[in-house]
A = this chain, B = another copy of it.
Amino acid sequence: MVIVMGPDATPEDTDNLVELAASVGGEAYVTRGAGRTIIGLVGDVERFANLDLRAQPGVSDVRRTSAPYRLVSQENAVSRSVVRVGGVPLGGDTTTVIAGPCAVETPEQTLAAARMAQEAGASLLRGGAYKPRTSPYSFQGLGEAGLKILSDVRDETGLPIVTEVVDAADVELVASHADMLQIGARNMQNFALLHAAGEAGRPVLLKRGMTATIEEWLMAAEHIAQRGNLDIVLCERGIRTFENATRNTLDISAVPVAQKLSHLPVIVDPSHSGGQRDLVLPLSRAAIAAGADGVIVDVHPAPETALCDGPQALVDADLAELASAVRALSGLLGRPLAAAPAPEAAVV
> Does B290 contact A273, Cβ atoms closer than 8 Å?
no
Question: Given that A187-B190, A249-B249 are contacting pairs, would A211 and B213 also be in contact in the complex, using a CB cutoff of 8 Å?
Answer: no
> Does A211 contact B211, Cβ atoms closer than 8 Å?
yes
User: In this complex, what residue of B is CB-closest to A261?
Assistant: B245
- Determine which of B189, B216, B252 lies in contact with A252 in the assembled complex, contact meaning CB atoms within 8 Å: B252
The reply on A278 being an interface residue by CB < 8 A is yes
* Cβ contacts under 8 Å, A69 to chain B: 135
The reply on A294 being an interface residue by CB < 8 A is no
The reply on A139 being an interface residue by CB < 8 A is no
Distance, CA A214 to CA B243, complexed state (A): 7
The reply on A68 being an interface residue by CB < 8 A is yes
- Determine which of B169, B189, B214 lies in contact with A169 in the assembled complex, contact meaning CB atoms within 8 Å: B169
Contact code string A137-154 (vs B, CB < 8 Å = 1, else 0): 100000000000000000
Q: How many residues of A contact B (CB 8 A)?
A: 65
Please state the number of chain copies in the assembly.
Answer: 4
Distance, CA A166 to CA B193, complexed state (A): 10
The reply on A328 being an interface residue by CB < 8 A is yes
- Determine which of B192, B226, B282 lies in contact with A167 in the assembled complex, contact meaning CB atoms within 8 Å: B192
- Determine which of B135, B209, B222, B251 lies in contact with A222 in the assembled complex, contact meaning CB atoms within 8 Å: B135
> Does B166 contact A167, Cβ atoms closer than 8 Å?
no
In A155-209, which residues have CB < 8 Å from any B CB?
166-169, 186-187, 189-193, 209
Q: List 19 A-B contacts (CB under 8 A).
A: A68-B135, A135-B219, A136-B223, A136-B226, A166-B192, A186-B189, A211-B240, A214-B245, A215-B245, A241-B251, A243-B254, A244-B244, A245-B257, A250-B252, A252-B283, A256-B282, A257-B279, A282-B290, A329-B329
